[in-house]
Chain A
Amino acid sequence: MYGLISEKCDLALFIAEHRGEPSCRQRLKGLQQHYCAARRTCADGSCFYRGLGFAFLEYLLGKPQDLLRFRERVTHSQRELMAAGFQDDVYRHHYETFLSLVDVAAGEVMAESKATEEVTASNLLTAFNHPYISDSAVRYLRLVTSAFLRSRADFFQPFLDHVGSMEDFCTQNVEPMMAVCDHIQITAVTQALDIPLQVEYVDSKDTAITQHVFPEGSCPCIYMLYNEDHYTLLYKEGAVPPVVAAVARD
């Protein structure tokens, strides 16, 4: 039903349906101590950006103060994009798309009355599953990442594992929709938009699950599972709101 970001599903169910090897599934069960739900993301190269944008806006539902602060952050990013050398017509559309999504999260689309949190959540989910809107939002996040990296090329350049300028790296590994994210991109985007993120790293080896928090030292509010080169959203609080589920089913 939702191709890009799925509905919340029970973590046990998610693990049961996991395609990995039994040992991997066994290790994933360790997550159940802390999490109870998950959202699948489409493996199209942008799973991290899409999941990040959606999860954070979803987290901000019902938190007007934080929403406002995030909105300011987004509007501020416009200047960073400009400073990074992007032409106005390159980012304008995606920027506005993302800003409108922030507004959706704020429930301002419903003109008459403030929408309930559930309705807003379903609107958000619908918007993020709209291929056009969703990709535009992802593009915005990619551009912000790129701008952040470009503006701090001196710092980030030594971390690249190949010789080349930061511009080349950004045009090849950040901005294209197919480009997968890596530690550098994750660091950049979470710092650029101040999105506190915790990644549960479940690798294929027999090591314990490790946690990585971005930006370092912050108090994470959204959680992702990194497993088999894929990012999945995790939720601490569990049950799927019945209303959202109902709306989604419609």
Chain B
Amino acid sequence: MSNKKEPPFFNEDNIGSFHYKLPFYETMELFIETLTGTSFELRVSPFETIVCVKAKIQRLEGIPIAQQHLIWNNTELEDEFCLTDYNISEGCTLKLVLAMRGGPINTRRVPLDDSVREIAEFMDPVREELWEKTPTNKQVTFLVYREGDQLNFFRVVDRGDGTLTPLSESLSGGSVYNLYAEDEDDIEASPSGQQIIENSITMNKMKLLKSKMENMNLNKKPKMSSKLKPRPPNAPRPTSISMASSRHRLLKVLPHIGQTFLPPGNPYVSESSHNALSTLTAATRTIPSITSDFLKAEETWGSPSLIPSLSSINLPPKVSRVELEDASHSTNAVLSPVTPFPKNDVLKKDSDPILHQNLNLFSSEDASRSISESFALLAEAGPPEQYGELCSLRKMKSDFDLLEGNQEASTIETHQTALSKSLNSDLMETSLNTSEVSPPRSKFLSPIHFSPKLNDATFSTSRHPKCFDFRSLRPPASHSHFHSLQLQNMADPTTSRTTRFRGVKVESPGKGSDVISKMEARDMTELVNKASKEPMGSLNNFGFFASLARSTSRDDLNSSSNPGRLRNHLIAPPTTLQEEAISLHDSLNIFNTPHRVGQNVINTSCGRGTVEATHLFPPVKSVRTKKATKHCFLCGKKTGLATSYECRCGNNFCATHRYAETHSCTYDYKTAGRRYLQESNPVITAPKLPKI
């Protein structure tokens, strides 16, 4: 690396004069500094690739290209990129380091477990190909993921600064079942390393979700009742029994839905097409408004629910019963299907202040009034809205509401639409109602329905501690994400809700969780495609939700067909945004409006829709890994990965209760110890000596 070497012909000494005549931006001087402290100049073009620069260095210094590492600003320069890509300009000093990494621990002898070996075998034929394109002496990460019998390989080269090279290749081992083959192709083609990262992230998340979903489904199944009573078109006061049955239905549906939502470990994110993204963005906008509405409704209801004991609730006894039943059902159902996104926490934080405000408002207004009164108010509000048959609908809805805690979410969505377009919202609601009960009635009912739903929701919250979370979450209506989170937490009523929430989450990602949004968008698009049969309502927002719920939208909405959903979403955003703002500002107003209540009803219908939709989707087999959350057996505290201690008695404990004496362990250490001692110290009896 001495500078004394004769500069090659191309160095500036020989052709410098020529270069100097060129415009300034065409060539530039770079300084290459080595670890020995020596540096030399290099004349390059800004559009030269790094590998060209290395070739020049090789000619200058005799160091093979493969052994060179060029570092600038503590970033390793990749061969494929140009100097301009790194914003390297005139006079910059690049650092030259040799690739002499040596002495790694020999891993060749480490035995591979079966799964790894399987993959390794698969990789063997392509290894050459993989390594060929791999720059030497760089950290290369192979992403291998497996879905079903298909293995996907992606090669990512770490540049060292946290960014990854765009190179990726996926090799799939021929599975016929891969639904997402297209998406994978997209991934392969995708030029940005970020997408790859996102994919991996999303894949992990999806797996988590899947496992959680499955767990939830398992829990629910036993609770479901075989009876599925179709609701009578004109529902009198809902009886607890009918409610229960409807709930069961919903519950059944939910698990399926959850499955459908969960992709089989596919890299959806990367795959998401432009269309999906656009739809997502649109959806996100619309969703917030909906969520806000929903939140409002929930809040109104929630005020009674805030009271810890049901008896304390102001609601009329009938309502309370129904609610209680619903709540119990809903809680069961809710928990299983939905898995909260990691981003939920953030959302919650944001929403919290809002929620508090909302709660206060509700509590002030609602608390004074009995629930029955609130219902009346809702009913009153409905009629002015031009719904002639609101009253009848109300009854129906109230029944339904009890049944469908889950539906509330959908109703919320509808509320959003209503806010943007009161007429549309009504239609949507009606459509939802019809799907659940009887289509024609649903239209009329919409306003009334909302109130009962609200009641249900509140009831569920009051009963379960989880419900409180919901309320808190909902208030942040401004943040659609929050809603989704809340819903998930509540595990309310139905999977349909959860699905909706997801959709909401997707929308919210605008804040920064692009990946999630993408995934959600994908899910949504899938749903839409499947639901193509159903005509979606004119309401864009609703349509979006409907796509989630599918079934509901199909029945009632004649106006817009499925293909329109995406468009609707796109179109909807501005209105939804306005709605959101409104909802945020006037959570109280929203509560008052009957529409919101009606939305709840819609939710129920959505739940149905989801059930139907599930049929369309092939059941997804998810691998159950472990319980979603562990809690201390004694104090109930949530125990994380590092703080979970399993005792010999088989229970899980937190750090403070992990020892046998702190939780009065049921394990019989004494006998176990005796047995151990006996086994380890067998009595030795000397054989009898033969007599001489």
Contacts and interface: CB of A to CB of B under 8 A. Distances in A.
Interface string B1-17: 11000000000000000
A184 interface: yes
A199 B500 CA distance: 63
B97 A161 contact: yes
Contacts of A44: 103, 105-106
A46 B103 contact: yes
A178 B100 contact: no
A44 B104 CA distance: 6
Contacts, number: 111
Contacts of B62: 210
A96 to B, nearest CB: 25
Interface in A15-45: 43-45
B101 interface: yes
B63 interface: yes
Given A161-B76, A163-B74, A231 B35 contact: no
Nearest to A217: B2
Given A48-B103, A203-B64, A210-B67, A183 B75 contact: no
B104 A229 contact: yes
Contact of B103 (A164, A181, A210): A181
Given A183-B35, A187-B35, A204-B136, A158 B103 contact: no
A186 interface: yes
B128 to A, nearest CB: 11
A229 B35 contact: no
Interface in B89-130: 93, 95, 97-106
A47 B104 CA distance: 8
B98 to A, nearest CB: 4
A159 B103 contact: no
A88 interface: no
Nearest to B58: A207
A53 interface: no
Contacts of B1: 216
Contact of A184 (B33, B97, B137, B161): B97
Given A182-B97, A216-B2, A229 B102 contact: yes
Contacts of B678: none
B95 A186 contact: no
B262 to A, nearest CB: 36
Nearest to A228: B102
Interface in A204-250: 204-205, 207, 210, 212, 215-217, 226, 229-231
Determine the interface band of chain B, counting residues with CB < 8 A from chain A.
Answer: 20 to 34
A198 to B, nearest CB: 13
A212 B1 CA distance: 9
Contacts of B64: 203, 205, 207, 210
Nearest to B63: A210
A151 B309 CA distance: 68
B2 A158 contact: no
A43 B105 contact: yes
B101 A159 contact: no
Contact of A183 (B97, B104, B160, B162): B97
B38 interface: yes
B685 interface: no
Among the interface residues B1, B62, B105, B161, which one has the most CB atoms of the partner chain A within 10 A?
A: B105
Given A187-B35, A205-B66, A210-B63, A162 B161 contact: yes
B37 interface: yes
B97 A45 contact: no
A8 to B, nearest CB: 20
A161 B160 contact: yes
Interface string B35-71: 1111000000000000000000000001110110101
Given A187-B35, A187-B36, A210-B64, A160 B71 contact: yes
A231 B103 contact: yes
A131 to B, nearest CB: 15
Contacts of A49: 103
A207 B35 CA distance: 23
A43 B101 CA distance: 12
Contacts of A226: 100, 102
B66 A203 contact: yes
Contacts of A159: 35, 71, 95, 97
A147 to B, nearest CB: 17
A180 B67 contact: no
A74 B42 CA distance: 39
Interface in B655-682: none
A181 B100 contact: yes
B545 to A, nearest CB: 45
A161 B74 contact: yes
24 contacts: A43-B105, A44-B105, A47-B103, A48-B102, A158-B93, A161-B69, A161-B76, A161-B161, A180-B103, A181-B101, A182-B97, A183-B69, A184-B35, A184-B97, A187-B35, A201-B100, A203-B67, A204-B66, A204-B136, A215-B36, A216-B1, A216-B38, A230-B102, A230-B103
Closest 6 CB pairs of A and B: A43-B106, A161-B160, A216-B36, A47-B103, A161-B76, A183-B98
Given A161-B69, A203-B136, A230-B103, 12 more contacts: A45-B103, A47-B102, A163-B161, A182-B102, A183-B97, A183-B98, A183-B100, A203-B64, A204-B136, A205-B64, A216-B38, A229-B102
